[in-house]
Amino acid sequence: MTNLQQRQNEIKSRIAEAAFKQPILNNGLLFQHDIRDNFYYASYLFAASQEEAIPFDGDRVQAKIMAEGILLHVLELQDQNEESVTYGHFPLHLRPTPHEAPKNTLPVELMGSLMVYFYQRYSDNFSESLRNLFAIALLHIYRSNFYRKPLEHYNHHEAKYTAAKLIFGQLYENTALLEDGLQSLRSTLNRVTSKGMSEYGGLPWFWHWMQAFTCAWELMKDVEIKAELARLLDYLWEVRSTYYLGGAWVGPHSRIWPHDMPKDTNVLHDYVQFGDFTLPDHMPRTEYAGFIAYEASADIHRSALQRTAPVEIIRKVPKQAALAVSDNDVLHSYVYITENFAIGGMWERVQEFDNEQHRWDVALPLDAVQGVNHLYFFHPGQGYAEGDLRHQSEFSEVLFHQNTLVASYQIPEGQPEFIMGCLPVGDWVEEPNGLFGLCGHVYMAVYVQQSFQREVREDRSVVTSKGRTNSVVVECIDQRTAAETLQIRDILQFANVMKQKQPAYTLSSEDDLQITYTNLKDETMVLCSGLLSHRKIIRLVNGEAVDFSTYTVG
């Protein structure tokens, strides 16, 4: 058994035991919030009942009975009326009752392909009634033709349709559908390798790409198609390794959920692949990481796991709304990654899905700190709710250079007149002009232009700073580098050094804010931004403007 398989069995064991201990609801299911979690947890429980290699602290006979009961209730919720507009589909959320809940197209998109995998692997061990219901449900999914959609945006939905064409085309020996899936697969591979993925850092979307194509690769018998799937999976894992740091996803995100930020917890596929951090107790996205896996190459593993030399990752990515992708339809992503931290983000602010673009941050490996592993600030925008550190506004500009970043916030009238920040747990020195911390093996200096208040919580600090004109400057340095180059031995010495390095703020009569900061390498950074959206943004490092022509497709 490989290390990858051992880690998969560890996940199977954890989820199966959690499912076995959870009381069954009156409706025969485990969860009301999402039908997919019922299918996933029941799958893990059934697997544990059948496989001795999976550690399981429970009665395996009872586990099988319980798992089959949940699966039967899930299958009974499918719309099997061929005249229905939701034919073949299931409800997503199960309120007020599972049978009253409206059907939704989302569950089948991903769950449908995984159901084929589960059926083909375990159906010989099903009871006759479950085997029959499962076969009928899969036939209805196939006949629903939910996957017959053209490639237009090359997003996670279309990735799942492409994988489903391959999976159901093979299952039902539909050569035309299989060929359609192959052509869609080749078009997708050509698009992402030549233009990049518009859903940059988009969690959980990226894992939906990964799961759909990994499932197809696991099931595929055709050698040529399997090789094409492997090429796409190699690309996806190369993307993941590029932005990987000890379980953290570094750099900007086109979409984040509360389990993505300010702490990475959607990490099961990372754990299976790389295994260089502790498997967390909280697993909000169980899905099928314990079942399906594509082992990445040794080069990809080295890229993800060996971070001794700092690297700058500068990439162009296509905007989500752009189909042709001209030179004007791209965004520019910048990340500086070291062994102990990563810092960077997206130069451009874009209105992404549900206004969930995450613009910039400092990321730490998961095991480096207890609690959140990202540091960032933002101005609240559309969708923001108290307690949810997401949904930022358009009123910010940024300047990135290696271990330092500058962010300005020019807030017009009628908008919330404050910015918020999140800090990891660490040894923090709080001064009127900034915060100086040691988190894991990284010293962090955080300068906030206006006065601020810090609320210390068990797993983070939350910072609030009021004012229509504001800015944040962040500089990070590895603990070892600070000792070797600056003779800094503790957090107090670091704070004393950094207190002398204040950013300079200049506000012109035209409401242009200029922030000037000289970092520990004696490099001067200048960010000038205007209150009005049409004002030109000036970004300089040592007198040189940022050169976007050096950015490559990523």
User: SS3 string of 416-479?
Assistant: CCEEEEEECCCEEEEECCEEEEEECCEEEEEEECCCEEEEECCCCEEEEEECCEEEEEEEEEEH
Beta-bridge mates of residue 514 = 506, 528
Contacts of 450 (CB under 8 A, 6+ apart): 465, 466, 467, 469, 470
pTM of the model: 0.96
For tokens 């400057």, what's the residue?
473
Contacts of 323 (CB under 8 A, 6+ apart): 152, 153
Task: List per-residue pLDDT tens for the chain, 554 residues long.
Answer: 799 999 999 999 999 999 999 999 999 999 999 999 999 999 999 999 999 999 999 999 999 999 999 999 999 999 999 999 999 999 999 999 999 999 999 999 999 999 999 999 999 999 999 999 999 999 999 999 999 999 999 999 999 999 999 999 999 999 999 999 999 999 999 999 999 999 999 999 999 999 999 999 999 999 999 999 999 999 999 999 999 999 999 999 999 999 999 999 999 999 999 999 999 999 999 999 999 999 999 999 999 999 999 999 999 999 986 555 566 789 999 999 999 999 999 999 999 999 999 999 999 999 999 999 999 999 999 999 999 999 999 999 999 999 999 999 999 999 999 999 999 999 999 999 899 999 999 999 999 999 999 999 999 999 999 999 999 999 999 999 999 999 999 999 999 999 999 999 998 767 788 999 999 999 999 999 876 545 678 999 999 999 999 999 98
User: Nearest CA to 48 among 37, 36, 57?
Assistant: 57
Alpha carbon of 551 to those of 193, 307, 312: distances in Å? 15, 21, 11
The answer to whether 468 and 449 have CB atoms below 8 angstroms apart is: no
Beta-bridge mates of residue 524 = 518
Domain range summary for the chain, segments of one domain joined by +: 1-109+123-145, 369-553
The answer to whether 461 and 455 have CB atoms below 8 angstroms apart is: yes
User: Nearest CA to 243 among 289, 286, 307, 188?
Assistant: 307
Quote the crossing angle between the two packed helices 205-219 and 156-171, to the nearest 10°.
Answer: 20
142: enclosing H helix or E strand? helix 128-144
The answer to whether 536 and 549 have CB atoms below 8 angstroms apart is: no
The answer to whether 402 and 312 have CB atoms below 8 angstroms apart is: yes
The answer to whether 4 and 272 have CB atoms below 8 angstroms apart is: yes
Task: Give me the pLDDT at residue 320, please.
Answer: 84
How far is the C-alpha of 22 from the C-alpha of 7, rounded, in Å?
Answer: 23
Contacts of 401 (CB under 8 A, 6+ apart): 519, 523, 525, 541
Task: Give me the pLDDT at residue 507, please.
Answer: 83
